[in-house]
Amino acid sequence: MLKQKKKIASIIALSLIVPIALAGCGTDTNQGKQPDVSPSQTAQVKGQQNEQPVELTFYIGNSPIKDMDRIMEAANKIIKEKINATLKLVVTDWSTYPQKVNLMISSGEPFDLAFTASSGELNYFQNASKGAFKDITELLDKYAPTTKSRVPEKIWQGVKVNGKIYGSINYQVWGMAGARGVQLRKDLVDKYQFDWKSAKKWEDLTPFLDAVKKGEPDMIPWEYSNQADNFADMSVVYGMDSVGDNKIPGWVRYNDKDIKVINQYETQEYKDYLKLFRSWYQKGYIKKDAATMKDYVPDRRAKRIAALYSSPYPDLIDLPELASSTFMSMAPPDDKVYSYTKRFTEPFISANTPSGALIAVGANSKHPEKAVQLIELLNTNDELYHLLAFGEEGKDYKKLSEKKIDMIKDQYNFNWSEWEIGQSYNRILWDQNTDVESREKSLNIIYQADKTAMISPVMGFVFNTEPVKTQMANVDATLKELLYALDSGSADPDKYYDEFIKKLKNAGADTIIAEKQKQINEWKKLNGK
């Protein structure tokens, strides 16, 4: 979410949304104005004039959106004209969105498009491997060539399952290389004279969180949400990368040339994490109901968060000029809630970066070709994209320059979720990025890092879950039972850690890890690694 809400989703999201797909290194950097419609769609529309327009459903996670009907009416005029279709955008609160998507999948309910990812509970790889999504490999080539060509082929490898593409990558403005760290409220850091520049790990934040807890009774010192878990969704902080969906056991270490698969929950890093977060929880730095928190947006918008996990690259040490445009994630821009950002890691490219923000076509969609045409339209028609992302110029936002806008208070606002509906590269910078010159400079730093950043040892490897799908389901159930309680600090690891590990093993965690290792060994041989 920021754009760092955007990760939530990394997220979730989220927060943070977690950074996602890439920019600046594709075959088409698209520096000029993007076309209203791609050449392939121009030809397609000519043969559609006599067809009845179809309605496409598109499911996304988002907070309630004001004046959405007005914007959708305007959007559908464009969509109908360009591809002879209309869009029903179905918005579900992030607290229940993953469950809604998974319920539709399990029941076989038809849908045309849905936002998905490998993070949180969306489980892109698992869902794709069990037939929940349409294979769009050939459909992208035929109906969305611009969308396909922008993203480097090696990155498409990161979303393939059994050699097929089941999700269209939302190629994002913030690039491919990223880092992990924190975002701290500037006014509180200054008030309590916290040395934020020296912070290098979670433990270093304890004095600041303690000061906030004692001096700011209405503030939440540290944010935790199971949509942005501070361990399971942030493997690089601990020098590791996930293999497949983030939470399932079976990670690898970045510096391990042998690429040995390990159970991340049995590492010393995880044990140390549990000890720290348990102490934070007991001291009141983390909300009492953190283990069940599925939607962090309300607290962020209410400006109640003092510190949160973030993806600050470059941070304010790399580029001090960003200070004038770095606000707390999702805080109302007009309130100017400034932040300090500090990264804990070097720039890196995780294996799950490509699958951080995807649009999937439902396996039971009655209009898969038209759905992919809509993906292409959202990615190539700036008028449509900006309409959905920011509303109507003059009514919902003021355009200050080609890439600078100022949102009008109390009007339509997409809640900083434009990253869910398409590729944002080279488009208008949302209203928090008010200093365009500094923002462009930071993007150049990111694009340069894209070429030199540390790369996951399993980039391009996609885990086929079919041989262990039963174990995956059993392990997933165990994770939902105990993981968030432990990771939020709510549960005492001295009492529940051994039980957690035992249940994971009984559910089949070791079998999953062995299967991951087997497939990675085969992949290494095929790729000369």
User: CB count, 10 Å around CB of 391?
Assistant: 25
User: CB count, 10 Å around CB of 146?
Assistant: 19
Q: pLDDT 10s per residue in the chain (529 long)?
A: 333 333 333 333 333 333 333 333 333 333 334 445 555 555 455 555 567 889 999 999 998 899 999 999 999 999 999 999 999 999 999 889 999 999 999 999 999 999 999 877 888 988 998 899 999 999 999 999 999 988 877 778 888 887 899 999 997 766 677 899 999 999 999 999 999 999 999 999 999 999 999 999 999 999 998 878 999 988 999 999 999 888 999 999 998 999 999 999 999 999 999 999 999 999 999 999 999 988 888 899 999 999 999 989 899 999 998 888 789 998 887 788 999 999 999 998 888 888 889 999 999 999 999 999 999 999 999 999 999 999 999 999 988 877 778 888 889 988 888 889 998 766 766 544 456 777 778 878 887 787 778 888 998 787 888 899 999 999 999 999 999 999 999 999 999 999 999 999 999 999 999 999 999 999 888 777 7
- Reported as a single tens digit per residue, the pLDDT across 102-160 is 999 999 999 999 999 987 788 898 899 889 999 999 999 999 999 998 887 777 888 88
E strands of 316-432, at which residues?
A: 339-343, 348-349, 358-361, 397-401, 404-407
H or E segment at 289? none
Q: Is 492 helix (H, G, I), strand (E, B) or coil?
A: coil
d(CA 226, CA 246): 12
> Are 185 and 199 a contacting pair, CB within 8 Å?
no
User: CB count, 10 Å around CB of 40?
Assistant: 17
According to DSSP, the β-strands at 54-61 and 85-92 are parallel
Within 13 Å, how many C-alpha atoms sit on residue 424's CB side? 27
- From 115, 114, 166, select the one nearest 136 (Cα to Cα): 166
> Are 317 and 86 a contacting pair, CB within 8 Å?
no
